Amino acid sequence: MASKLTTSNAAGWAFALPGFGLICLFIVVPFFLAFALSLTNQRLISPNPTEYVGFANYKSLLSLAVITLEPERDEAGEIVRAEDGTLVYPRVRTITRNPDFPEYRGMREWFRWHSGDNARVVVAADVVFMKALVNTLTFALVIAPGQGGLALLLALLINQRLRGINIFRTIYFMPVVVSIVVVSLLWRFIYDGNDGLLNNILSSLTFGLFEPIDWLGRTDTALGSIIAMSIWQAVGFHMVIWLAGLQTISPTLYEVAQIEGASKWQTFRYVTWPGLRNTAVLVLIVITMQAFALFAQIDVMTNGGPLDSTQTLVFQAVERGYGKQDISGGSTISVVLFLIVLTISLIQRYLTRERS
Amino acid sequence: MRKLPRIATALVATLSLSPAALAATELSMWYHGAGNEVESKLINQIVSDFNASQSDWTVTIESFPQESYNDSVVAAALAGNLPDIIDVDGPVMPNWAWSGYMQPLPIDESEIADFLPGTIGRWDGKLYSVGLWDAAVATVTRRSTLEKFDIRVPTLDQPWTAEEFDAALMKIKDSGEFDYAIDLGMAWTGEWYPYAFSPFLQSFGGDIVDRSTYQSAEGVLNGDAALAFGEWWQSLFTRELTPGTSQDPADRETGFLEGRYAIQWNGNWAAVPMLEAYDDVLFLPAPDFGNGSTIGAASWQFGISASSQHPDGAAAFIKFALQDKYMAAFSDGIGLIPPTPQSAAMTEKYNEGGPLEVFYGLSKAQALVRPVTPGYVVAAKVFEKALADIANGADVADTLDAAVDEINADIEKNGGYGH
């Protein structure tokens, strides 16, 4: 292989050159630029000169600490209890804004838990980033099996010789062709809290018992709503990939399975699924990577709100780099995101490798 | 060989012709009002009048949708492609001037002496931009609504106090006659938040940054006054006096007109349909929360880009545009506030006794510009997020602390923004 690539293949390299060149120019170079910028204090536009700041951007993004809070005690040393019996703790800001604790300066509470009477508070230098990280991981974790599974199901359904099957194929594929911005706008109307389509359907199905929900305006439903809408939007694309995989499986294998008396489930489990192995790896990795790039839906539908419940890494990178004119901060998030996606892709490759 | 002389003749002819062709130097101009038919017509009228009035300059205008205008200018500045004349939102101007997209405007101070303060953009002691109009925000309601609930009609001298305002809202809410007692316009994300809501904070005695130094927000955005503001702000939402952040933009447009909101906090640009819908509309000053009643000032203004080779031509155009008749035309066309008493007298709605005259008074008496600093662009975004978070139930003190930290970190990262 190596010799074939390096010798007597000038034409091949020449053909590859435009592609390689463009990938270098628009993907490889910007990545190294992002890494370099993340070590500086580069602004979008500023009369001030750019300075090298080392890992300060990473520190202000990733710093975490745990503070232990003791419950308030009265003069006699008894623990003070609020009216409902819960313990009363001093506010975190008495520590994070206290000149005696400069190491916690600028940090904010991310979450807390209780051990005994004490509360342990995890404070982060950048809570919004931490929330964006958790949201993005949650999104990827739900989307990967959800979208992949649904796409396979649809592919199996439309992989039949039926009259008018192309109509179904077209319908399932349609959302992929429509711009994600348009789809997001439409779903904003569908999710509308007062008289959105979804609320109307649910309330007429339950004969008016259903209380309208402000889907995008509540912290507990916003991310879920975006996940559901994202699955719907891109499922057609992966359906087509599954379909291509299904059609590479030789019909003779199905004939054999039929002659052997295999049930439908057995046919799927021992003929279809092994035949889709490579397709499955591809679909899984593509969905995961796309999931980490979640941006347009957030930008159009929620802007990261309410209360950061739909913040994502890419949205934050854009918001900081462009909105707040802090290119170095945006670059830092991009580099962190790159490392996460690289790690996950490598793990996926390892887990799905060919075992010989 | 015989062709050569002919080409040479042609070249000579072209060269001798070109001074005549170049007599009018091209000036490019960008404007934020694409998609608004009336506004486009007005600005195009000024451009064609200017081009016809003299032979030195030809202005060509290109319009952008407002949502993407600022991004386009920033991108063009990065690429070195700015036009000669740009229009700029007042509070953003210091950022663009400091960043070096704009150059000072060579217009004599005497020409803008009687303009409303909100229409003039200064940075570092120099004039950078002038606007053909200002905008103002008022508490809009109907006289009949106030009379029905026995609420005093406030005046410029005696606006509602915080208690009066609160009692009025509760009275309206308890009657159950309206979906919401007041609509603040939470659907209008972006610049509306700092423009419309920071005056409340200022009336409480706080601010977005400390205007004496512009180096810190500590103590002004998270001091006692700001905390009181934050608690009041959150209570508007917990008591369901106003629609929250997920308000449908369509409701914002029609809610007051259809009688679903009793009071609306809205700008003069929305006044015309209100006057058409009701015959007893009142445009009232903002409540006084202890530190005086105040509203935001400054709207879109014209300036010259730093890369322009012809600042004299650009200035000539801006001077030409600052005629009373054009300022009056903008006011008549889209309801904006004319910047001078003379132009106000020429308008249909802002002349003495006109239905919107009150806005001119509000602008003149109460308007306070947003913090005049290049850091405003970032501080405004931080402030917007803090208000949205508090409205959604975040802890007031922690949220304001976080906003202060972010604003201060940004100022520090930018070396104090040149103050």
- When pLDDT is cut at 50, 70 and 90, the band that residue A144 belongs to is very high
Q: What is the pLDDT of residues A287-326, one digit of tens each?
A: 999 999 999 999 989 888 799 999 999 999 999 998 888 9
> In this structure, is residue A15 part of a structural domain?
no
- Phi and psi, residue A195, nearest 5°: -125, 35
Q: Cβ contacts of residue B254 below 8 Å, gap of 6+?
A: none
CA B12 vs. chain centroid, Å, equals: 52
Who among B189, B381, B389 is closest to A323 (CB)? Answer: B381
Please state the rounded mean pLDDT for residues A183-193.
90
Tokens for B157? Answer: 């001298």
What is the sign of the dihedral through the CA atoms of A286, A287, A290 and A291?
negative
Give the residue, A85 or A143, on which the prediction is more confident: A143
> In this structure, is residue A93 part of a structural domain?
yes
Q: Cβ contacts of residue A72 below 8 Å, gap of 6+?
A: A79, A80, A87, A88, A89, A90
- When pLDDT is cut at 50, 70 and 90, the band that residue A340 belongs to is very high
Interface contact B413-A307, CB threshold 8 A: no
The pLDDT value recorded for residue A3 is 58
- Phi and psi, residue B58, nearest 5°: -125, 115
What is the DSSP code (8-state) at residue B101?
S
The helices-and-strands tally (H runs, E runs) of chain B is 17, 13
Pairing state of beta strands A64-69 and A118-124?
antiparallel
Please state the rounded mean pLDDT for residues A232-245.
93
Domain B25-134+298-347 maps to which CATH number in 3.30.300.130, 3.40.190.10, 3.30.530.20, 1.10.287.1120? 3.40.190.10
Contact B303, B100 (CB under 8 A): no
Measured in angstroms, the CA of B93 and the nearest CA of chain A are apart by 14
* Residue-averaged pLDDT of chain A: 89
CA distance A338 to A349: 16
Q: Which residues of A touch B414 (CB under 8 A)?
A: 43, 46, 48
The pLDDT value recorded for residue B179 is 92
Measured in residues, chain B has a length of 419
Q: How many CB atoms lie within 10 A of CB B274?
A: 19
Residues A298 and A330 in one domain: yes
Q: Do domains B25-134+298-347 and B137-296+375-418 have the same CATH topology?
A: yes
CA distance A298 to A301: 5
Measured in angstroms, the CA of A323 and the nearest CA of chain B are apart by 8
The pLDDT value recorded for residue A345 is 87
Nearest CA in chain A to B70: A323
For chain B, give the percent of residues with pLDDT over 70: 95
Residues A114 and A138 in one domain: no
Measured in angstroms, the CA of A306 and the nearest CA of chain B are apart by 6
User: Is the model's pLDDT at B11 over the cut of 50?
Assistant: no
Query: Dmax over Cα atoms in chain A, in whole Å?
Result: 90
Tokens for B141? Answer: 């309601």
The pLDDT value recorded for residue B22 is 52
Give the residue, B141 or A47, on which the prediction is more confident: B141
> In this structure, is residue A82 part of a structural domain?
yes
Measured in angstroms, the CA of B419 and the nearest CA of chain A are apart by 13
Residues A68 and A180 in one domain: no
Residues A118 and A132 in one domain: no
Q: A216, A325, A331: which to substitute to probe chain B, counting the most B Cβ within 10 Å?
A: A325
For chain B, give the percent of residues with pLDDT over 90: 65
Q: Strand, coil or helix: what is B321?
A: helix
CA distance B383 to B372: 15
Measured in angstroms, the CA of A319 and the nearest CA of chain B are apart by 10
User: Is the model's pLDDT at A79 over the cut of 90?
Assistant: no
User: Is the model's pLDDT at A150 over the cut of 70?
Assistant: yes
Measured in angstroms, the CA of B405 and the nearest CA of chain A are apart by 6
Residues A155 and A91 in one domain: no
The pLDDT value recorded for residue A339 is 93
Contact A282, A244 (CB under 8 A): no
The pLDDT value recorded for residue A222 is 93
Nearest CA in chain B to A97: B401
Who among A43, A192, A319 is closest to B248 (CB)? Answer: A192
Nearest CA in chain B to A308: B389
Q: Which of B313, B305, B268, B28 is nearest to B133 (CA)?
A: B268
Tokens for B115? Answer: 């303009």
Show which of A124, A149, A170 is a domain's final residue: A124
Measured in angstroms, the CA of A344 and the nearest CA of chain B are apart by 31
> In this structure, is residue A45 part of a structural domain?
no
Nearest CA in chain A to B76: A45
| Sequence ranges of the domains in chain B | 25-134+298-347, 137-296+375-418
The pLDDT value recorded for residue A58 is 94
User: Is the model's pLDDT at A329 over the cut of 90?
Assistant: yes
E strand spans, B118-219:
120-123, 126-130, 137-142, 180-183
- Judged by phi (left if over 0) then psi (alpha if -120 to 50, else beta), residue B415 lies in left
Who among B98, B246, B393 is closest to A193 (CB)? Answer: B246
Nearest CA in chain A to B406: A106
User: Is the model's pLDDT at B17 over the cut of 50?
Assistant: no
Tell the burial category of A2 from Cβ atoms under 10 Å away from its Cβ (0-12, 13-18, 19+): exposed
Cα-based torsion angle of the residue sequence A91, A92, A96, A101 in order, rounded to the nearest 10 degrees: 80
Residues A136 and A269 in one domain: yes
For chain A, give the percent of residues with pLDDT over 70: 97
- Phi and psi, residue B407, nearest 5°: -65, -45
Q: Cβ contacts of residue B223 below 8 Å, gap of 6+?
A: B205, B206
Q: Which residues of A touch B394 (CB under 8 A)?
A: 307
Please state the rounded mean pLDDT for residues B11-19.
45
Domain with A268 in it: what CATH number? 1.10.3720.10
Residues A236 and A341 in one domain: yes
Nearest CA in chain B to A307: B389
Contact B297, B363 (CB under 8 A): yes
Q: Which of B85, B88, B118, B65 is nearest to B374 (CA)?
A: B88
Chain A interface residues (partner B, CB cutoff 8 A): 41, 43-48, 60, 91-93, 96-97, 106, 108-109, 127, 192-194, 214, 216-217, 219, 303, 305-308, 319, 322-326
Interface contact A217-B246, CB threshold 8 A: yes
The pLDDT value recorded for residue B286 is 93
Residues A344 and A233 in one domain: yes
> In this structure, is residue A267 part of a structural domain?
yes
CA distance B61 to B277: 35
The pLDDT value recorded for residue B287 is 94
Q: Which residues of A touch B397 (CB under 8 A)?
A: 91, 93
Q: Which residues of A touch B78 (CB under 8 A)?
A: 44-45
The pLDDT value recorded for residue B13 is 46
Interface contact A96-B410, CB threshold 8 A: no
Q: What is the pLDDT of residues B290-301, one digit of tens each?
A: 999 999 988 999
Q: How many CB atoms lie within 10 A of CB A65?
A: 15
CA distance B111 to B359: 23
- When pLDDT is cut at 50, 70 and 90, the band that residue B50 belongs to is very high
The pLDDT value recorded for residue A143 is 94
Could you tell me the residue range of the domain that residue A92 belongs to? 64-124
Measured in angstroms, the CA of A311 and the nearest CA of chain B are apart by 12
Angle, alpha carbons B72-B77-B81 (nearest 5°):
85
User: Is the model's pLDDT at B21 over the cut of 50?
Assistant: no
Cα-based torsion angle of the residue sequence B280, B285, B288, B289 in order, rounded to the nearest 10 degrees: 80
B137-296+375-418 domain in CATH 3.40.190.10?
A: yes
Tokens for B346? Answer: 């020429």
The pLDDT value recorded for residue B303 is 95
The pLDDT value recorded for residue B109 is 87
User: Is the model's pLDDT at A104 over the cut of 60?
Assistant: yes
User: Is the model's pLDDT at A145 over the cut of 50?
Assistant: yes
pTM: 0.88
Please state the rounded mean pLDDT for residues A174-195.
89
Determine which helix (DSSP H) or strand (DSSP E) holds B27, and give its type and residue range.
Answer: strand B25-31
CA distance B173 to B147: 15
Tokens for B126? Answer: 């120099």
Q: Which of B351, B294, B362 is nearest to B327 (CA)?
A: B351
Overall domain count for chain A: 2
User: Is the model's pLDDT at B14 over the cut of 80?
Assistant: no
Q: What is the pLDDT of residues B200-214, one digit of tens each?
A: 999 999 999 999 999
Q: Which residues of A touch B402 (CB under 8 A)?
A: 108, 127
Residues A163 and A183 in one domain: yes
The pLDDT value recorded for residue B18 is 45
Please state the rounded mean pLDDT for residues B141-169.
93
The pLDDT value recorded for residue A159 is 87
Cα-based torsion angle of the residue sequence B195, B198, B202, B205 in order, rounded to the nearest 10 degrees: -170
ipTM over the 0.95 cut-off: no
Q: A38, A42, A43, A45: which to substitute to probe chain B, counting the most B Cβ within 10 Å?
A: A45
> In this structure, is residue A27 part of a structural domain?
no
Q: B245, B246, B405: which to substitute to probe chain A, counting the most A Cβ within 10 Å?
A: B246
> In this structure, is residue A46 part of a structural domain?
no
The pLDDT value recorded for residue A6 is 61
Measured in angstroms, the CA of B211 and the nearest CA of chain A are apart by 20
> In this structure, is residue A111 part of a structural domain?
yes
Tokens for A282? Answer: 């591809």
Count of CB pairs separated by less than 8 Å, A with B? 74
Interface contact A217-B101, CB threshold 8 A: no
Q: Which residues of B touch A322 (CB under 8 A)?
A: 71, 74
What is the DSSP code (8-state) at residue B210?
-
Determine which helix (DSSP H) or strand (DSSP E) holds B63, and give its type and residue range.
Answer: strand B57-63
Please state the rounded mean pLDDT for residues A182-202.
89
Give the residue, B357 or A182, on which the prediction is more confident: A182
Give the residue, A124 or B10, on which the prediction is more confident: A124
Q: What is the pLDDT of residues B86-120, one digit of tens each?
A: 999 999 999 999 998 899 999 988 889 889 888 99
Measured in angstroms, the CA of A80 and the nearest CA of chain B are apart by 22
Spell out the alpha helix ranges (H) of B212-281: 224-238, 249-254, 271-277
Who among B189, B389, B401 is closest to A307 (CB)? Answer: B389
The pLDDT value recorded for residue B12 is 46
Show which of A124, A139, A157 is a domain's final residue: A124
Contact B102, B127 (CB under 8 A): no
The pLDDT value recorded for residue B103 is 94
Q: Which of A159, A129, A115, A148 is nearest to A62 (CA)?
A: A129
Tell the burial category of A202 from Cβ atoms under 10 Å away from its Cβ (0-12, 13-18, 19+): middle
Q: How far apart are the first and last CA of chain B?
A: 68
Give the residue, B34 or B321, on which the prediction is more confident: B321
The pLDDT value recorded for residue A4 is 60
Tokens for A16? Answer: 């590859």
Show which of A73, A96, A124 is a domain's final residue: A124
Who among A45, A194, A307 is closest to B78 (CB)? Answer: A45
Interface contact A323-B409, CB threshold 8 A: no
Who among B77, B248, B414 is closest to A43 (CB)? Answer: B414
Q: Strand, coil or helix: what is B139?
A: strand
User: Is the model's pLDDT at B389 over the cut of 70?
Assistant: yes
User: Is the model's pLDDT at B2 over the cut of 60?
Assistant: no
Q: Strand, coil or helix: what is A107?
A: coil
Residues A234 and A89 in one domain: no
What is the sign of the dihedral through the CA atoms of B411, B412, B418 and B419?
positive
Q: In what order do the strands lie in the sheet with B180-183?
A: B180-183, B261-267, B137-142, B281-284
Interface contact A106-B409, CB threshold 8 A: yes
What is the sign of the dihedral through the CA atoms of A276, A280, A282 and A286?
positive
